[in-house]
Structure 1
Amino acid sequence: MAYDEGLADILRDALHDTPGIAEKKMFGGLVFMMDGNMLCGVHKGGGMFRVGMDNIAAALAVDGTQAMAFTGRPMRGFVDVTDETVADDDRRATLINLAKGFVSKLPTK
């Protein structure tokens, strides 16, 4: 398996009361979609959150985050995080809230 199932369970638990959440295996990891839009996910070595460009500075201020560069190309509005960041209740909650704030404004797919 290319991602840590324990980290996926942590995100599942954190998102279980959020309406419109679905899981999708993608890019060797697991992505959580909200109303059809990518919200966050786990991959080998950590996770990612889609926070949007307006929230990127706040997200990068969270310990254990960095700009996401999947396949060497920057992904605007996404942050990559360490395993420890996903596992930390406070850091994860901050990033989930930033991601939900962004994704909730997108049209449903």
Structure 2
Amino acid sequence: MAFNAETADRIRAASALFSEEFLEKKMFGGIAFLHKGKMTIGVVKEDLVVRVVDNKMDSILKKDYVRPMDFTGKPMKEFIFVSAKGFGTEEQLMQWMELGLEHAKTKL
């Protein structure tokens, strides 16, 4: 599996600050963190993968260090990549986790 283990550890530590439970699963050649079976956030290589509710995608994609997730050459619906500079602080990481959790809760 190719993912930044330090980023995964940061997500594990930050998940303790949430009242929701997160489970880990190997996905996309990396690791994903799921809430009640729904993906929230993950790590692939050096990037975060974040699920985003559809009505926020346009504004989120305008942010620095964010790009569509496109394994096949076609962007995946409601998935983004965030490069390392976009989650350098714990506050930034928590914001991405909250966004991913918001998506998961809409799918329950």
Shorter-normalised TM range? 0.7 to 0.9
Deviation at 1:38, TM superposition (A): 0.7
Q: Show structure 2 runs of 5+ residues with no match.
A: none
| Per-residue Cα deviation, 1:29-62 (whole angstroms, up to 9, x for no partner) | 0000011001110011311100121121232243
Q: Partner of 1:54 in structure 2?
A: 55
Q: 1:65 corresponds to which letter in structure 2?
A: V
Identity %: 30
Structure 2 length-normalised TM:
0.85
1:64 aligns with 2:65: yes
Q: Distance in 2 between matches of 1:91 and 1:60?
A: 15
Deviation at 1:12, TM superposition (A): 1.1
| 1:62 alignment partner, SS class | coil
Q: Distance in 2 between matches of 1:80 and 1:26?
A: 14
Deviation at 1:72, TM superposition (A): 1.7
Q: Partner of 1:94 in structure 2?
A: 95
Number of corresponding residues: 107
Structure 1 length-normalised TM:
0.85
Preserved CA contact (<8 Å) 2:65 2:82: yes
Q: Distance in 1 between matches of 2:37 and 2:50?
A: 15
| 1:75 alignment partner, SS class | coil
Q: Distance in 2 between matches of 1:91 and 1:55?
A: 17
